[in-house]
């Protein structure tokens, strides 16, 4: 993740270079299938040298790209998704689901911000990096479940360039969110309160202070009649007493 942050900070070209490097893992084009009841399965195969579960940045971006290109354009209503690895451990090849379903939308069908989605993806990938160590990842798969899918006649899939730009923006926002936890107020930043120069400060210390009472009577002036301009009267409205300590 540190490597990605440094590349992001150096500008667009460096981050594009990182995405191009990620593309060297890809074997052929990614693909998807519409299954029943609003389900979508999107897959990206890898080629040698295969990434390992420790390649957390690459795998996190690969999952995000599948969401961008095939899931987001088609889902309708509420949606969630799962992440899968096709893993090669020694001589065994198996499919594993990384975590329980991750919500893609709020209960009303509104999309959850992508940077929060990427945060959940990265957490799931990090957990598997510790569990599977040196295994090889042959492919990644996203399975989404939604209330329905849009009609294919109105679906518009983003281009690779559009997806890459979306990924960069998503990661930039993700980095900003995670950087907030490091923000803190320094003691050196604390400044003494400043007062206007015309306000004087009384430094006199009173001795042998005696308690006393303070009374305040509020009155409101008013006229007896509309034509009685010169006769104004006051009516008592409130009274207060206070005993300073």
Q: Give the pLDDT of residue 105.
A: 96
CA–CA distance, 221 with 233 (Å, rounded to integer): 6
Q: Is 219 part of any domain? A: no
Q: Give the pLDDT of residue 221.
A: 59
State how far Cα 196 lies from the chain centre.
42
Q: Is 228 part of any domain? A: no
* Contact (Cβ atoms closer than 8 angstroms) between residue 204 and residue 229: no
Q: Is 156 part of any domain? A: yes
User: What's the mean per-residue pLDDT of the chain?
Assistant: 79
- Residues 141-176 have pLDDT tens digits of 999 999 999 999 999 999 988 988 898 888 888 877
Q: Is 176 part of any domain? A: yes
* Contact (Cβ atoms closer than 8 angstroms) between residue 78 and residue 105: yes
Q: Is 6 part of any domain? A: yes
Whether the bond between 111 and the residue before it is cis, its omega within 30 degrees of 0, is no
Q: Is 234 part of any domain? A: no
Range of the domain at 85: 2-182
Q: Is 164 part of any domain? A: yes
Bridge partners for 102 per DSSP = 81
Whether the bond between 205 and the residue before it is cis, its omega within 30 degrees of 0, is no
Q: Is 218 part of any domain? A: no
Count CA atoms within 13 Å of residue 99 on its CB side.
15
| Residue 129's CATH number | 3.30.1490.100
CA–CA distance, 22 with 51 (Å, rounded to integer): 10
Structural domain count, the chain: 1
User: 18 CB contacts (<8 Å, ≥6 apart)?
Assistant: 3, 4, 7
Could you say which residues of the chain have pLDDT below 70? 1-15, 17-18, 179-245
Q: Give the pLDDT of residue 129.
A: 87
User: In 3-state terms, what secondary structure has residue 208?
Assistant: coil
């Amino acid at each position: 993740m540190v490597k990605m942050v440094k590349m992001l900070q150096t500008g667009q070209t460096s981050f594009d270079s990182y995405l191009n490097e990620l593309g060297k893992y890809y074997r052929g084009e990614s693909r998807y299938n519409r299954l029943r009841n609003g389900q979508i399965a999107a897959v990206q195969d890898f080629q040698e040298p295969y990434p390992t579960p420790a390649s957390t940045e690459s795998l996190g971006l690969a999952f995000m790209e599948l969401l961008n290109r095939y899931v987001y354009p088609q889902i309708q209503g509420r949606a969630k998704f799962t992440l899968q690895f096709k893993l090669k451990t020694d001589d065994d090849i198996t499919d594993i689901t990384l975590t329980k379903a991750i919500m893609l939308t709020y209960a009303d069908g509104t999309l959850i911000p992508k940077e929060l989605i990427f945060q959940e993806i990265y957490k799931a990938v990090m957990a598997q990096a510790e569990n599977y160590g040196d295994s090889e990842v042959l492919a990644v798969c996203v399975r989404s479940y939604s209330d329905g899918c849009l009609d294919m006649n109105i679906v518009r899939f983003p281009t690779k360039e559009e997806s890459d730009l979306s990924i960069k923006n998503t990661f930039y926002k993700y980095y900003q969110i995670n950087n907030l936890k490091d923000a803190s107020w320094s003691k050196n930043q604390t400044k003494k309160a400043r007062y206007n120069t015309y306000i004087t400060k009384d430094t006199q210390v009173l001795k042998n202070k005696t308690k006393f009472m303070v009374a305040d009577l509020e009155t409101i002036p008013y006229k007896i009649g509309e034509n009685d301009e010169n006769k104004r009267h006051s009516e008592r409205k409130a009274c207060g007493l206070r005993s300073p300590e």
